[in-house]
Amino acid sequence: MKRLNFILGAAALAAVSLTASPSVNAQENGNRDEFGDIVRGPYETNRFGDNWFIGVGGGINIFWNDGYKTAIGPSIDANIGKWITPSIGLRAGYQGLGSNVWSYAQNVLAPVLDADKGMYKEKFGYMYIHGDVMWNISNALSGYKETRFWNFVPYMHTGFFRAYGLDDTDYADNEFAAGAGLLHNLRLSDRLDLIIDMRATLVNGKIHGSEGVAVLPSVTAGLAVDLGWPNFVRTSTIVGAIEIANAEKFEVLETAVVALEAANAALEAQNAELAQANGKLSKELKSLRQTTVNETTFFEDMGPATIYFNIGQATLNDKEKQHLDFIAKNLISKAASDTKIYLTLMGTADSNTGSASRNKQLSEARGKYVFDILTTKYGIAPDRLIVKSEVVKAASKPELSRAVVISF
């Protein structure tokens, strides 16, 4: 137990001293803003193929259990992982080879007494397939820096532990294991790192025919290769670049806003003028309704009636629907049922506000819209209506280009 405590304490002291060394802190001057504050993100989400790594290493391990005298054995590591963020990563790994312990009592893995030592030597191999959750404390506390030489990464691990020893020997050789570790990641180049992995694993002592909890401290060193794109991009950097690139456009946009406000004011004035014209037309229609002249003469002398559409629209607003309702009920209904009335619906659209094909489509849609209302809602026989459409090249007023004209 004293030897285990000494090993773990020495490893922890070495990790702390290395992390706190001036050479590591000197690497922190490349991830600060103009005020000297650490920049920590946020960061763009990396693609699935980015920030992967594979690593291999070799070293030593000690298998310790109460009632046994430990001995150093070899160990190898193989890992593959991915950094999800600059601070959080996931890793899957394999650890194995062998361990040596001396037992004071005979057991299934140590059946032969060593006369010189007066103990039973127990030698067995093992493999540990584990998953790790890693926390890059250097990036978390000091901000992400892709050129940092030393990254200090504690992690938790758990997985499947299998021991193998003497053939045809019955013991509990499959167990779950768990523990913690400390990964030192030293940057050698853009894609190559030196890794020092210090791990402690706890497993049921039955794994080698004993009782209690067995502890396996291990230290390995090796190399890791970065796959895909190995870095992260701060979102704030991207936003700042966009803001700088668009700075010259702000004045143009403000000018456009002023122009749009002026155009809206002009449209409001035109709408008021149209409302006044519609009011005048309503009075004229009311006067015509009250006239006592011959109905045939009334229709022959009457000029066309106009229904107005909003720009880009093929349906009428509520005011124009009432206008059409008045025409249908008070003008068209005046015609005798045996009188042949030709209604020409000329759907028009402004050629200055759209392409020829779009204006043609819009014109036809407006004509069909009025045609459908007259036939379905007011019962006008379809064969009495003739639908035409045309595109007005130039109109005295733009609103006259967005209309359906009903003529008798």
| Sequence spans of domains, the chain | 2-244, 291-407
* CA dist., res. 176 & res. 162, Å (int): 9
170 pLDDT higher than 70:
no
Q: Which of 134, 118, 5 is nearest to 62 (CA)?
A: 5
**Residues in contact with 337: Cβ distance below 8 Å, sequence separation at least 6, in sequence order:** none
2 pLDDT higher than 50:
no
**Residues in contact with 135: Cβ distance below 8 Å, sequence separation at least 6, in sequence order:** 87, 88, 153, 154, 155
Handedness of CA 113, 114, 115, 117 (dihedral sign): negative
Range with lowest mean pLDDT among 107-116, 129-138, 268-277, 372-381: 107-116
User: Quick one: pLDDT at residue 12?
Assistant: 45
Classify domain 2-244 at the CATH topology level: Porin (2.40.160)
Q: Which two tokens stand for residue 88?
A: 């959080």
Report in angstroms the alpha-carbon separations of 82 from 136, 138, 225. Answer: 12, 17, 12
Residue 314 in 3-state DSSP?
Answer: coil
Most confident of 2-6, 218-222, 308-312, 314-318: 218-222
| 223-271 confidence digits (pLDDT tens) | 999 998 888 877 755 555 556 666 667 778 888 888 899 899 989 888 8
| 81-97 confidence digits (pLDDT tens) | 999 989 999 999 999 88
Residue 232 in 3-state DSSP?
Answer: coil
Strand partners, 43: 234
Radius of gyration of the chain (CA): 44
* CA dist., res. 292 & res. 349, Å (int): 37
Q: The domain 291-407 is classified under which CATH number: 3.40.50.720, 3.30.1330.60, 3.30.420.590, 3.40.50.150? A: 3.30.1330.60
Q: Which of 19, 13, 23, 9 is nearest to 153 (CA)?
A: 19
| 346-355 confidence digits (pLDDT tens) | 555 555 666 7
Report in angstroms the alpha-carbon separations of 69 from 142, 213, 363. Answer: 42, 15, 97
At 22, is the pLDDT very low, low, confident or very high (cuts 50, 70, 90)? Answer: very low
DSSP-assigned letters across all residues of 365-394: HHHHHHHHHHHHTS---GGGEEEEEEEES-
Range with lowest mean pLDDT among 56-60, 118-122, 229-233, 239-243: 239-243
Handedness of CA 272, 278, 280, 286 (dihedral sign): negative
